[in-house]
Amino acid sequence: MSSAAKLNTGDIKYTPTDGIPSLKKAIIKYTEENYDKVVAPENVIVSGGAKQSVYNILYSLINPQDEVIILAPYWVSYPEMVRMVYGVPVVVTPEDGSFYPKMSDVLKGISSYTKAIIVNSPNNPSGVMYPPEFIAELVEFCEKKGIYVLMDDIYHKLVFDGRTAPSCYRYTKKDIESTHVVVINGVSKLYGMTGFRIGWAIANRQLVEIMSNVQGQITSCTSLILQAAAEGALTGLQSAIDSLRMTLENNRNVMLQELHSFTGVKTTKPDGTYYCLPDFRAYSNDSVKLSELLLKKALVVTVPGKEFGMEGHLRLSYATSIKDIMEGVARIKWALDPNSPNEIYIGDRKLVRDWQ
Ligand SMILES: Cc1ncc(COP(=O)(O)O)c(C=O)c1O
């Protein structure tokens, strides 16, 4: 039943804490089609966005002082969430200076307190997708050690160059009840429904039950209307995801082309997502200051790499128009090139250089 139909029939009450059965059914089908994994309704919990799922999992799993490995660059919320449940975030940064962690990097972060590792690939903020060999090795290692692999798969279909994201489930030798793999997903990124706040987690029954108890005491359930809308997205025409992916791939190409003509800036090619994370250390090691300068003087919004555990970098989004991508990079170039004119029009904006 659609959201509007629910309003018309007065179906406006609380839902089961873990989600309405018809949405869970759509999620089960999605899991089968995209992950080749058959799961039961008891393995699914719907939450207020993937974000709430990640937090609920951590709240349910982590005891004080338990360690959670986070691969840098990482989504800003992970370390904070781990601290909020009194865990210890252990940030692992690839030693070779790339955005691709190796198993040898991960091993350096492992201790007897390691309870979980959070994997986000394709990755926010770098856009890179970890190779299948790494995912395979990681899953095998973690399952042997009893460490949870929390796979935040929110961008898993926004992958470019004809590739597909390697799924953790492909490499687990265990069934859903004994695997330590937990997959988190949602409608925010694939369907552009960020404001609908619907995400979910697929895990063993025991963990889902604990998460339901946690969620039940905090939000009771997510909105019925928005669950119905998410169900509509999952069961409707899926071609919208393909067109979003194609647009983003084209935008990524334009962003890379513009950044390649930028002296000193090094960019790792994003394999997917909405973002890239160029290295601006040739201009500044202080990404917060650099980001502030670009915001105030060039009127371009960037996110400092420091927030993602990658100082000296800036996260740029190409989830916008080609015109804005080209103008945005042109403004950054103007602001950082000491030889650029003091006054310039880029697009319809007059920019004035009044700093050293
Ligand atoms: C890696 C990652 N996970 C989770 C989220 C949040 O997803 P949701 O809107 O479903 O809470 C985001 C949003 O930026 C994200 O980048």
Count CA atoms within 13 Å of residue 61 on its CB side.
30
200 vs 75: CA distance, rounded Å:
18
Together in a domain, 63 and 171: yes
Nearest CA to ligand 1 atom 16: 124
**Ligand 1 close to Cβ of residue 194 (< 6 A):** yes
Together in a domain, 141 and 244: no
Instruction: Say how far residue 195 (Cα) sits from the centre of its chain.
Output: 16
Together in a domain, 323 and 299: yes
CATH number at residue 40: 3.40.640.10
355 vs 350: CA distance, rounded Å:
15
Together in a domain, 135 and 153: yes
**Ligand 1 close to Cβ of residue 124 (< 6 A):** yes
**Ligand 1 close to Cβ of residue 315 (< 6 A):** no
Together in a domain, 220 and 283: no
**Contact 119/151 with Cβ under 8 angstroms?**
yes
Instruction: Tell the burial category of 73 from Cβ atoms under 10 Å away from its Cβ (0-12, 13-18, 19+).
Output: buried
Segments forming the whole domain that contains residue 280: 240-352
Together in a domain, 127 and 269: no
Together in a domain, 102 and 12: yes
More confident residue, 5 or 30: 30
pTM (predicted TM-score) = 0.95
In the chain, the number of structural domains is 2
Q: Which of 236, 265, 289 is the last residue of a domain?
A: 236
Together in a domain, 93 and 220: yes
Q: Which of 188, 203, 236 is the last residue of a domain?
A: 236
Name the residue of 54, 118, 124 whose CB sits within 8 Å of the most ligand 1 atoms, as the mutation to test its pocket: 124
- pLDDT of res. 5: 72
Residue 356 binned pLDDT confidence (cut-offs 50, 70, 90): low
CA of 268 to the centre of ligand 1 (A): 21
- The mean pLDDT value of the chain amounts to 95
- What number does the ligand 1 atom closest to the CA of 120 have? 1
Together in a domain, 226 and 255: no
DSSP-based three-state secondary structure for 10: coil
**Per-residue pLDDT reduced to its tens digit, 280-323:** 999 999 999 999 999 999 999 999 999 999 999 999 999 999 99
CATH number at residue 343: 3.90.1150.10
SS3 per residue for 166-207: CCHHHHCCCCCCCCCEEEEEECCCCCCCHHHCCEEEECCHHH
- pLDDT of res. 349: 85
Together in a domain, 228 and 244: no
Together in a domain, 172 and 277: no
DSSP-based three-state secondary structure for 46: strand
DSSP-based three-state secondary structure for 305: helix
Together in a domain, 82 and 167: yes
Q: Which of 236, 271, 299 is the last residue of a domain?
A: 236
